[in-house]
Chains A and B, each alone.
Chain A
Amino acid sequence: MSEIKKFLYVNRKAPYGTIYAWESLEVVLIGAAFDQDVTLAFVDDGVYQIVKGTDTAGIEMKNFSPTYTALGDYDIKKIYVEKESLEKRGLTVDDLLDLKWEDEDEDWAEKDSIHVVSSAELADIMDDADITLSF
């Protein structure tokens, strides 16, 4: 088996107005299927991708919000959201999807996947990645 690399997916676009958010999510799921170490970052308008309460019936597009809630099943549990981006948009963590993962080592206890971090903390996370994919 080849070496596991740290993949970082940086999401900076709002959903639905462009295809970036959906394309990113598809690539994330593919990467996860190959047992790589996956981290997601949501910054700038990317924070809008994981806002809860979306209803796309009126625009006749597939609502891909439920897919984010499945990320925990793919062992994707490192989801970082930039605090500064949320604040600029009048959002808090309470506006975001409640994304969880189950910790096998603690009797499958449900834990939060989303971590709100500062720009400086994200800089460290970005610096730490082996491969960065930008959307």
Chain B
Amino acid sequence: MLHTVNKSPFEKDSLAACLRMSKDGCAILLIEDAVYAATDGTAVSDQIKEAMKTKSVYALKPDVDARGMSGKVIDGIELIDYAGFVSLVADQNSTQSWL
């Protein structure tokens, strides 16, 4: 299953809800303002790193670049482009959007 999150983890609890209600082995894609959750040294970095032990975490590169965060992404988070986004959706049996 694929989970997408598009809200900043500092403004809404969408990421926290996603992490709480997603299962091991799932894919989590951070898009739009949620890409801030993919950066290191923040108040939520440890939550993401913990999730990465059992789940695959991706971030949409165009959104990371637009926000000037490309040099701060946590090691191990895979950056994907729009084509990668489509592939991820197509490869999974279902998608849940945490808005």
* Count of chain A residues with a beta carbon within 8 Å of a chain B beta carbon: 25
* Chain A binder among B4-12, B20-28, B88-96: B4-12
Q: How many interface residues does chain B have, given as a range? A: 20 to 34
CB within 8 Å for A48 and B66 given contacts A17-B6, A17-B8, A90-B45: no
CB within 8 Å for A45 and B10 given contacts A58-B61, A59-B63: yes
Complex Cα distance, B85 from A76, in Å, reads: 41
Contacts of B61 in A (CB 8 A): 58
Task: Give min CB distance, A53 to chain B, whole Å.
Answer: 4
Q: Mark A86-101, 1 if CB is under 8 A from B, else 0.
A: 0011100001000000
B67: which of A13, A14, A44 is its contact (CB, 8 Å)? A14
- Asked whether B10 lies within 8 Å of A53 as measured between CB atoms, the reply is no
Interchain Cβ contacts under 8 Å between A and B, 20 examples = A15-B67, A16-B33, A16-B63, A16-B67, A17-B6, A17-B8, A44-B10, A44-B11, A48-B67, A51-B69, A52-B68, A54-B65, A56-B66, A58-B63, A58-B66, A58-B81, A59-B62, A59-B66, A89-B42, A90-B41
| Chain A residues with a Cβ under 8 A of chain B | 13-18, 44-45, 48, 51-59, 61, 63, 65, 88-90, 95
| Chain B residues with a Cβ under 8 A of chain A | 6-8, 10-11, 32-33, 36, 39-43, 45, 61-63, 65-72, 81
